[in-house]
Amino acid sequence: MANYAIGDIQGCYAPLDRMLDRIAFDPAVDRLWIVGDLVNRGPESLRVLRFLRGLGDAASIVLGNHDLYLLMVAAGYKRRDSDDTLFQVLEADDRDELLEWLSFQPLMRVHGDHVLVHAGLLPGWTVTRAQALAAEVGAVLAGPKSREFLLHLAGNRPDRWSDGLKGWDRLRVIVNAMTRLRFCTAQGRMDLSAKGAPHKAPSGMLPWFRVPDRFSRTHTIVCGHWSALGFYREPGLIALDSGCVWGGKLTALRIEDDAVFQVPG
């Protein structure tokens, strides 16, 4: 049995299929850990969703910002991205089943000493605290207020965490941190507009994983989201978004021995 974490797929089914051949994936004994952004911008978002849903317990998903964007659009949020490729899913006969399955996926998962999350964790969050916050979002996303939540999700404010936050502001900060974070201050104020490489951090900002003494250093964070960072590994971090949808590579990590596999996008 092996556990494979796979970086941002973003609707690129063909590279995913090549990757599964490369690692000789057997759904009867192996497990996939998908770091989010299953859909959008690539040509086969619908096929990716159907395939991963069909794997059942052999695939564990965390939500990325593009996955949540799909749910937002389906809930009635006005589409803003002219290059999105969500129409296949939105017009599919099985769209409701696929969207319901997606809405029950969490923002983070813990597997031993590894944490799977799409973007990152704020420096003041322990893994245990982050799990509890992710569960707050999951309960709303899968509950009766899901549509209302999705229609209040867009926005960059508040830009930092406070235990006193309530309502949509509280949930929005949790989601933004776990699905959109790249740079923040040592105190946890996020800059959600900067998308460049780590050495191009905005003034006063750091890559989130380099904040000194961040509380989640107890675990190895496995994430995606940051294509300008690419595949990157340092103690406590494995980043897997190697820009597959942009003509880069799809990357997989075998968790048991940190072996890395890549296929062309």
Model pLDDT for residues 92-121, shown as the tens digit of each residue? 999 999 999 999 999 999 989 999 999 999
Give the position of tokens 């769209």: 95
Return the pLDDT at 82. Answer: 66
Provide the pLDDT confidence category of residue 85 given band limits of 50, 70 and 90. Answer: confident
Range 15-33 average pLDDT: 98
Give the pair of three-digit tokens for residue 139.
Answer: 């309960």
Question: For the CA atoms of 232, 240, 152, 127, what is the dihedral angle to 10 degrees?
Answer: -70
Residues 6+ apart with CB under 8 A from 249: 15, 231, 242, 243, 262, 263, 264, 265
Please tell me whether the overall predicted TM-score, pTM, comes out greater than 0.85 for this model. Answer: yes
Provide the pLDDT confidence category of residue 83 given band limits of 50, 70 and 90. Answer: confident
Provide the pLDDT confidence category of residue 79 given band limits of 50, 70 and 90. Answer: confident
**What percent of the chain is helix, strand and coil (3-state, nearest 5)?**
35, 20, 45
Provide the pLDDT confidence category of residue 75 given band limits of 50, 70 and 90. Answer: very high
pLDDT at 81 > cutoff 70: no
In percent, the amount of the chain with pLDDT more than 90 equals 96
Model pLDDT for residues 194-248, shown as the tens digit of each residue? 999 999 999 999 999 999 999 999 999 999 999 999 999 999 999 999 999 999 9
Cα-only R_g, the chain? 17
In the chain the domains, ranked by start, together with CATH numbers, are: 3-264 (3.60.21.10)
Q: What is the DSSP letter of 77?
A: P
In percent, the amount of the chain with pLDDT more than 70 equals 99
Return the pLDDT at 54. Answer: 98
119 by Cβ neighbours in 10 Å (0-12 / 13-18 / 19+) ranks as buried
pLDDT at 37 > cutoff 70: yes
Return the pLDDT at 124. Answer: 98
Range 41-58 average pLDDT: 97
Strand 206-207 to strand 232-234: parallel, antiparallel, or no bridges (unpaired)? Answer: unpaired
Model pLDDT for residues 119-131, shown as the tens digit of each residue? 999 999 999 999 9
Model pLDDT for residues 142-191, shown as the tens digit of each residue? 999 999 999 999 999 999 999 999 999 999 999 999 999 999 999 999 99
Query: Beta-carbon neighbour count of residue 36 at 10 Å?
Result: 30
For 259, phi then psi, to 5°, come to -70, 140
